[in-house]
Amino acid sequence: MNTDIALRLKYIGTGTVTSVTVTAATDITMITSDGGTDAYTWADYTTLGALVDGINRDGIFQAKILDGLRSEATAANRFVAAAPIVAAFDGNGLVYDMLIDTNTIAPRRMCSRISYDRTFGSSQSLVDGHRVSINELVSNFTLGATDVLGIKIYECKPRSRGGAETLVFQKTPVSGAISTLNWSDGKASITAKEGNDLVVIVTDATSFAANDYLTVSGVLE
């Protein structure tokens, strides 16, 4: 639980990072030697798309949405408090991950993005030459409500091509048992167009259990 990465941030300034802090009720704040203090509030940036665009526009950090959608709302207590976020190495440098609180705000949700590059190691022109596919979903949910059509898969264009998020599949999740979902007995898959990502999001109006999980298996071409 609480492992979905809403935003991944990489410092691209010319100085040093003092802290990157998430205050669950209000904002994410970055303090750096060259940018000073930059606070991005949920009130001013009401969607993940607006938040990531605002951070990128200021040019101190590079930001990307991972386990979420541009259209998803930011809100008090939507994100896990971190004072500060501990930087981690993602294979291409140090990053700061802002996590989503899975079970605090309705609808409760789990999410996973299949992307050619979940780091900052590839340019968009390189990503545009590759495709991603989803072959199988394995889940174990104990849901409080079992939302009808609560499993959804979106194909997402990059921001440079408009950022459209198109629903391509939906199904009602299974609660109380391990469930495997694939297509044509595992011989088919859902495949995005070149350069696009696939995002699986599962919602429930009430709750997920503490040990619930969603595993997405796919292919990067």
Q: How do residues 25-50 score in pLDDT, each as one tens digit?
A: 999 999 999 999 999 999 999 999 99
Q: What is the pLDDT of residue 123?
A: 85
Ordered by where they begin, the domains of the chain are: 1-104 (no CATH), 106-221 (2.60.120)
Question: Model-level pTM?
Answer: 0.94
CA angle 110, 50, 163 (to 5 degrees): 75
Please give the structure tokens belonging to residue 9. Answer: 């941030």
Please report, as a single letter, which amino acid is at residue 208: F
Q: What is the pLDDT of residue 187?
A: 85
For residue 123, give the nearest of 49, 62, 70 by alpha carbon.
Answer: 62
Whether pLDDT at 132 is above 80: yes
Q: How far is CA 180 from CA 48, 64, 78, 81, 217, in A?
A: 30, 30, 29, 33, 11
8 A C-beta contact, residue 109 and residue 151: no
Largest CA distance in the chain: 55
